[in-house]
Amino acid sequence: MQNALRVLEGRWKLVILFQLFGGQVRRFSDLERAIPGISQKMLIQQLRQLESDGVVGRIVHHQVPPKVEYHLTEWGQSLCPALDALLIWAEGAPAELRSRLIQEGPDGDAQKPETSVT
Amino acid sequence: MQNALRVLEGRWKLVILFQLFGGQVRRFSDLERAIPGISQKMLIQQLRQLESDGVVGRIVHHQVPPKVEYHLTEWGQSLCPALDALLIWAEGAPAELRSRLIQEGPDGDAQKPETSVT
DNA sequence: CGGAATCCAAATTGATACTG
DNA sequence: CAGTATCAATTTGGATTCCG
In a domain, A50, yes or no: yes
Q: State residue B33's pLDDT score.
A: 95
Question: Is some CB atom of chain A closer than 8 A to the CB atom of B74?
Answer: no
Residue range B40-92, pLDDT digits in tens = 999 999 999 999 999 999 999 999 899 999 999 999 999 999 999 999 999 98
Contacts 24+ apart (CB under 8 A), B7-12: B7/A93, B7/A97, B7/A101, B7/B49, B7/B50, B7/B53, B7/B55, B8/A14, B9/A9, B9/A11, B9/A106, B10/A106, B10/B46, B10/B49, B11/A9, B11/B42, B11/B46, B12/B38, B12/B42, B12/B43, B12/B46
A64-112 tens-digit pLDDT: 899 999 999 999 999 999 999 999 999 988 777 666 544 444 444 444 4
For residue range A19-54, list pLDDT tens digits in order.
999 999 999 999 999 999 999 999 999 999 999 999
Has residue B83 been placed in a domain?
A: no
CATH number at residue A70: 1.10.10.10
Given this model, what pLDDT does residue A98 score?
63
Give domain status of residue B44, yes or no: yes
**Contact criterion met (CB below 8 Å) for B68 and A118:** no
Cβ neighbours of B99 in A, within 8 Å: 3
- Residue B110: inside a domain: no
Percentages helix, strand, coil for chain B, rounded to the nearest 5?
55, 15, 35
Question: Would residue A110 count as lying in a domain?
Answer: no
Instruction: Give the mean pLDDT of chain A.
Output: 86
Report the pLDDT value the prediction gives residue A95, as an integer from 0 to 100.
76
Q: What total number of domains does chain A contain?
A: 1
- Residue B105 counted as domain residue: no
Q: Flag whether pLDDT at A57 surpasses 60.
A: yes
Residue B90 near residue A4, CB atoms below 8 Å:
yes
Residue B32 covered by a domain: yes
B101 lies in some domain: no
Q: Coil, helix or strand for A72?
A: strand
Portion 75-114 of B in contact with A at CB < 8 A: 75, 78-79, 81-82, 84-94, 96-102, 106-107, 109-112, 114
Domain range enclosing B68: 2-75
